Structure 1
């Protein structure tokens, strides 16, 4: 079963026909909302996104023609409408086609043909659901995902680049899934910027009993834990120079040596590294080893920021809402249609991570079944189309500053907790705070 389904709005006052169509649509895999009056449907269509609407022309409170005409006059985007009509109302159906309706069926009709028509319109509306993407529906993310099966057949080291929060780890996990179709091999993720140099060595390579104070037993490091699977080294640009030398040796020799150990231990795994930094520039500045750069840069995957792939924003939001409902064991919440534009207009300096924070916060602070723009944003974000493109850099900087300040408040301005919350290293957080003039004590 898909975590996300095509949604159909069914407007039919006939109990027998309505129940039959609703049941058949559900069996065919569609999410169907059935309404018995035009008024109920009008409210739902104003609040929820539907891929297709099926409406009888004759309804108890107003006709389907009146409903469709009023909705079109409202100026909001509508799903494709298919009308059901009796023989005597064909003229009205023809008028509706001229107004922009998609099609009409005359009773009695072939339900199978209706289902085929609905499915074709849904696929046209949201083609990504037919292919079940896991990373995004934008052209950039679909192209990136299409490369993964081919890369999975190689043991080459992969470098994933992109801003903080764009989903670099999700790309690494998707690559791992392509290589490990049996779902039996380990995926181990390490944030290189979150550990001190001494801790990083012991965590990566493991240690023998008695190797240092507190080493009361031997411990396998991340390389050994990932044997046969994938080791994901996030923020590789934060790795200290001495550790860069040791990592280079492991890549070259395909073996590690535990801290305090004497015997080399062979390791077989896929190494995926990630960074938000410009490693080539760091090589030129002498802060990152050139030989290591070329060793990890065999295959390069770049993940664009969320503001450059707006098609993914609502898709990701819907996936987060699906996942949250499943994890909490609660009814699934939805987004009000008027909340979509602010989500699309906001530049998301924190990328996917910030989007998830915004939705998580709204789900905690409100019990509403349908989330509005006011529920999502503490203050209404300015629309990008109102910003001078020459000032876009300043706009993004202001948004990033506000994002960091919210995270600091959320974590009582504790640096370690805030950095972990944002998914960046403490060093990176300090740099951003200094750049934006944010003090640790606030104000």
Structure 2
């Protein structure tokens, strides 16, 4: 009971410190477990627990680091620029095409796992079109958010990486069974984009763009990356390499960290043979890589102490007594439903590193595997994208010049619908069970 109380106090302290911005997630993941580990009397063993936790997450950190670098190099080299051009050329002056193009563009740019890049590129490219046609900018915010949060469920995205790290799982093991549900979510987003576009077409009609008006100047083509880094002659090679990488991921041809490291090395050598340029390109993405790797290593220290001291088992045992036995086998879908409000009212770090291990340990007592709980925990990400606790919503609303509250009111029902679609598709395709056997 003492360990359970210390464990719950540790999780509450961690969540409070990061939600009140008194500590960053990285520092809280290190300091808080050390303090409570000392209180639990595990002082001499803490170092070993932390190293063991970090060692177990080293492959995940490797995969994330090289995934960020790889997709950063692909954006630098201009792999996605033709698609950006095609989307902008396709949308024309039809509101329905504009909204579908918005979703498509956001989905593609989201592949690098960086929400800020997705927001900047998508809004910079399409906001002038929305203004010319007098479309509702809240639709742009909605489609951007849904596209980004669903695509960001890839192994190198934040939610899947956090869930896998917290439960010491391979990110690919969490992701692969979720692919049909993710595709269903993306299809649902495109269908919603078309439906909203038809509503705007009915409201406004199909307008001709007037180039004489200052507000209707042609939208500039937004290219990602720096002009001198473009490699248009290598686009087919880069496309083939990326498709091979995705194929290797899906088939499990090799461990994901090995695939990412190999693909990155090939991409860097072929696109930028000069070693000085290679250093420049890597340095351009170093900030994103460092943040991801430090977070994963800090999470390893946190989970290492939480497990090594026996706190997580004690917490699960205490929670087990509070859950009606008839609900225990349904903890996977219950976790999916809880992930919506919980990730809205708390950060991903607080939920995945503070709450999820306790849920998973408790679910194991009812025969629900950790992989199922990890997959269920990422279902609520479309709702999380509207959380006032994350910076992305302020970036998006600032660029669009709309109120945060207005964006949340407009988008929340659709975000909940997207999460429920992911849940239904995941249950239908066996990503996690409705009821444990």
Structure showing the higher strand proportion among its residues: 1
Q: Could you tell me the TM-score, scaled by structure 1's length?
A: 0.30
Structure showing the higher helix proportion among its residues: 2
Q: Could you tell me the TM-score, scaled by structure 2's length?
A: 0.30
Larger Rg: 1
